[in-house]
């Protein structure tokens, strides 16, 4: 296709061990989720709430496939915890600009790991009196779940491995990859 130019695994100089999901697979799955969202929210108001920074890719791609009217807002949260482990104690770094009272909120996430961050975020948003709060995520790691959390729209269930790409980083790198992959051990000192 004319003008198509995206970063590839080969550009990462051997940093990636394997590709878990290709850009094409993600695109096709998000199209299915968008169709489902169109159907289930038709005639209602819809506010997408993206969780910075990982959800940027999911928000951009999913929202462009949704045909019903919608609004977007963003939150940034940080989970207190050691390194890559989330603790469930969450701090809001950037709150919504929107009053969500009476609104249908759909939280847009990149990945659900332990579920602690999202479980906290959902109850925080529910306390603001919205009409509904649902969750959409590109990735979920079922084996890592520490709390049961109802996720309405899941792209892919993946193994409990650390993944990068499609918004997800290791030390802020790899977010721009259009696919999801695992890192080669030499990158994280393994």
Among 26, 47, 48, 54, binds ligand XMP (CB under 6 A): 54
Partner whose binding site includes residue 47, from Mg ion, ligand XMP, none (CB under 5 to 8 Å by kind):
none
Q: In 3D, which of 180, 177, 175, 179 has the Cα closest to residue 163?
A: 180
CB of 180 within 8 A of CB of 164?
A: yes
**Interface with ligand XMP, residue 188, by CB under 6 A:** no
Closest CB to ligand XMP among residues 30, 168: 168
One character per residue 59-78, x = contact with Mg ion (rule: CB under 5 A): --------------------
Query: What tokens were used for 53?
Result: 């920074």
Residue closer to ligand XMP, measured from CB, 99 or 157:
157
Of the two residues 41 and 135, which places its CB atom closer to Mg ion in the complex?
135
The nearer residue to Mg ion, 54 or 155, going by C-beta atoms, is 54
Choose, by CB under 5 A, the member of 49, 50, 54, 113 that binds Mg ion.
54
| Among the listed residues 16, 37, 41, 86, the single contact to ligand XMP using CB under 6 A | 86
Structure tokens at 40: 């289930």
73 in catalytic set? no
Size of the site for ligand XMP (CB under 6 A): 17
115 in contact with ligand XMP (CB under 6 A): yes
CA distance 51 to 76: 6
Q: By CB under 6 A, tell whether 80 contacts ligand XMP.
A: no
Which residues bind to Mg ion, rule: CB under 5 A? 54
Which residues bind to ligand XMP, rule: CB under 6 A? 54, 79, 86, 110-118, 162-164, 168-169
Task: Write out the catalytic residue numbers.
Answer: 113
């Amino acid at each position: 296709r004319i003008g198509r130019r995206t970063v590839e695994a080969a550009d990462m100089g051997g940093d990636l061990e394997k590709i878990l999901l290709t850009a094409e697979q993600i695109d096709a799955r998000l199209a299915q989720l968008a169709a489902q969202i169109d159907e289930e929210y038709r005639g209602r108001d819809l506010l997408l709430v993206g969780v910075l920074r990982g959800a940027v890719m999911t928000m951009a791609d999913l929202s462009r496939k949704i045909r019903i009217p919608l609004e977007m807002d963003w939150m940034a949260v940080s989970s207190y915890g050691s390194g890559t482990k989330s603790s469930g104690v969450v701090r809001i770094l950037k709150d919504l600009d929107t009053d969500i009272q009476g609104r249908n909120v759909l939280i847009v996430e990149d990945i659900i790991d332990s579920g602690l961050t999202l479980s906290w975020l959902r109850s925080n948003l529910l306390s603001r009196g919205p009409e509904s709060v649902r969750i959409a995520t590109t990735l979920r790691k079922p084996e890592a779940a520490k709390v049961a959390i109802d996720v309405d729209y899941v792209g892919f269930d993946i193994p409990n491995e650390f993944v990068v790409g499609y918004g997800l980083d290791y030390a802020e790198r790899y977010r721009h990859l259009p696919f999801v992959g695992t890192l080669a051990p030499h990158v994280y000192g393994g």
